[in-house]
Structure 1
Amino acid sequence: MAATKNDIEATHVVKEYLPGFADFSHFIASDYSLSIYRKFATLGARNLLYLQAELQLLETRLHDLDEADQLVIELSDVAEEKQKVERGARSWEDLEQQAEDGDEQQAEKLKIIYKIRKLMQEYEEALLRRNEVLRLEKPEKSPFNAFKAWFRRDPPVLWGSGFRLLHYEEDMIALGTQDEPDRMSALLHQCLGYRLRVERETPRSWGPMYYYPVERVAFIVGLMSIIVSAALLVGAIMALHFVKPMGIRLGLVGVFTTLFAASLTLLTHARRIEVYGATAAYAAVLVVFISVNN
């Protein structure tokens, strides 16, 4: 995770990069959490609407040609003409042959079919790609603030159209997304992130920067989870062992079960159903202990 800190002096300096896109690309590549780009939500929707409209137009034209052929089959008094149109409607080979023989209507139908085939592929691929883009999450607050602070330096990093990159901050997405941090990880990052920092070699023009490894925070939170879980289980068993009145015992079961559920929510990414399941199992252990030692 990357962030900026004004009171940290960069101890390692590397060569400067070519200002502009070259320098910007090196900055983004310096940490995966800085892979932040425009989603182009409006343009993406507009592109799909254009493709959709083109397909709808071709669909209408093909439908009109089908209706014209249907009228010939139903109303024509010329048996040969009716058979020809019906063969073209039922047989792909006849449709191609009639188009090659100069039948303008069948040639037009074949042309529309080929256009639909190509455009449908483009439309479906665009839909699937857009669906993948929409699944990407917004950048996390800390790296996005570092990204914005670096980009808005004076003089501007990019000129021309590139200067408008952050004009639509709500339209930004992060490629290097990670799992949403649990509450304890977020708290440790906010309070101890500075002490967990790892300095890297960066150009002097980037300004003072530091990085902190997510693995360290995850290790600390994991260790805390083990200690808290063990303490809640052992503490509950010891309390239930020394307390004899059943009413107080049941009250202790409720208290420790609540604390266990709270610790799961605070220290892990467990979903609600997983919290319910683990809490029920924990309570069941305590109830069994009471039954055995009653």
Structure 2
Amino acid sequence: MPSTPPIFSSYAAFSAFISSDTELSLYRTFHALSSRNLLYLQSSLLGLENRLKELDEEDLKGLNINNFFSAKCWETFSDRAKEHPREAERMELIMMIKKQIKEYHEALLLQSEVLKFSKPSKRVFRVFQGWFESEKPFVGYGNELLQQRDDFVALKPSPDQDFLARFLQDLGGRCLLGTRHTTSKEVKYYSSTLVSRLATIVTVLAASLVIEGAIVALYIVQNQHVRLGLIALFTSIFAASLAVMTDGRRTDIILATAACAAVLVVFVSQSSGVGPRTTS
């Protein structure tokens, strides 16, 4: 028996939508609140640190045998803290520092991990935003979820971030075969593997066409000065196509461009012969 779709959007519908595709796992980091929390913890620790310094300075001014051993022996200090108000205050202060510095360091580590998350792509956020605004799953403050666009992170961002892959992903929503979401027909699912293969095919074809076009042009043109200009032109086109259509590192693009230029130079040298031409 087929499941009945919900008659209204809610937390259940929104969670079902998010779980329908891992790319839709977008959440706010509340970066401003996290930063404010760190500042509060930091200020609190500054106050505790300052009070501990004051106690240390007071001990130096009124140094006696009890203060001396309390400063050097934890057991002595711990025993005196049970009976003497001054040591008791210091012990309470130390326990507060121990607790708050642990909380502060944990908050720092968590914040550093959160900052490593990637921002969602424009395509994914557009789908996310379109569903949220059309279905309106929340009321109250929850309805203001999307007001901080830059505060969202993607738990699993799209693997392909180059221009060609993004273009094909945008095009896929209109041209590729896929399935529609059960509640929102504006959302379409299609194979990411297919998009990746299409990007690979287009990239390989474009690179090969640039090299083939260069060879044909260099074969037709015999003027050496023009040939040098064509080598520079087609090498630049080859490098630009790699930069646009792949997410390769700069060193990889430079090496591939150098290899392309070397192939064209070898072709020119072999087709024109070595040394000056002579006529009889």
TM-score by length of 2: 0.83
For residue 57 of structure 2, the aligned residue among 61, 64, 67 is 67
Deviations 1:146-173 (A, max 9, x none): 222222236x311233222223333322
1:270 CA drift (Å) = 2.2
Corresponding residue of 1:152: 133
Aligned length in residues: 270
2:189 aligned with 1:211:
yes
Considering Cα pairs closer than 8 Å and 6+ residues apart, tell me whether 1 or 2 has the greater RCO: 1
Q: Separation in 2 of the partners of 1:245 and 1:165?
A: 65
Corresponding residue of 2:74: 92
Range moving further from structure 2, 24-33 or 281-290: 281-290
Deviations 1:219-239 (A, max 9, x none): 111112222333334554565
For residue 4 of structure 2, the aligned residue among 7, 15, 20 is 15
2:154 aligned with 1:174:
yes
1:144 CA drift (Å) = 1.9
Q: Separation in 2 of the partners of 1:149 and 1:208?
A: 8
1:270-281 correspondence runs (5 A): 270-281=248-259
Identity value in percent: 37
Give the SS at the match of 1:173: strand
1:194 CA drift (Å) = 1.6
**CA root-mean-square deviation:** 2.6
Structure 2 CA distance for partners of 1:285 and 1:96, relative to 1, 3 Å? farther
1:178-193 correspondence runs (5 A): 178-179=158-159, 181-193=161-173
Structure 2 CA distance for partners of 1:152 and 1:241, relative to 1, 3 Å? closer
Q: Separation in 2 of the partners of 1:114 and 1:287?
A: 74
| Structure 1 unmatched ranges of 5 or more | 1-12, 74-80
Structure 2 CA distance for partners of 1:232 and 1:208, relative to 1, 3 Å? closer
2:119 aligned with 1:138:
yes
2:94 aligned with 1:113:
yes
Deviations 1:221-262 (A, max 9, x none): 111222233333455456556655432332222122111101
Give the SS at the match of 1:16: coil
Q: Separation in 2 of the partners of 1:72 and 1:288?
A: 88
2:227 aligned with 1:249:
yes
TM-score by length of 1: 0.80
Structure 2 CA distance for partners of 1:167 and 1:229, relative to 1, 3 Å? closer
Q: Separation in 1 of the partners of 2:163 and 2:195?
A: 12
Corresponding residue of 1:3: none
Corresponding residue of 1:10: none
Structure 2 CA distance for partners of 1:124 and 1:251, relative to 1, 3 Å? same
Structure 2 CA distance for partners of 1:207 and 1:221, relative to 1, 3 Å? closer
Corresponding residue of 1:284: 262
1:76-91 correspondence runs (5 A): 81=64, 83-91=65-73
Equivalent residue letter for 1:88: S
Deviations 1:61-97 (A, max 9, x none): 1111111112123xxxxxxx2x322222223333223
Give the SS at the match of 1:157: coil
Corresponding residue of 2:42: 52
Q: Separation in 2 of the partners of 1:254 and 1:162?
A: 57
Structure 2 CA distance for partners of 1:236 and 1:291, relative to 1, 3 Å? same
Contact kept, 8 Å, 2:24 with 2:154, in 1: the verdict is yes
Q: Separation in 2 of the partners of 1:72 and 1:224?
A: 81
Deviations 1:1-51 (A, max 9, x none): xxxxxxxxxxxx852247411111101111122212222122111111111
Q: Separation in 2 of the partners of 1:224 and 1:169?
A: 33
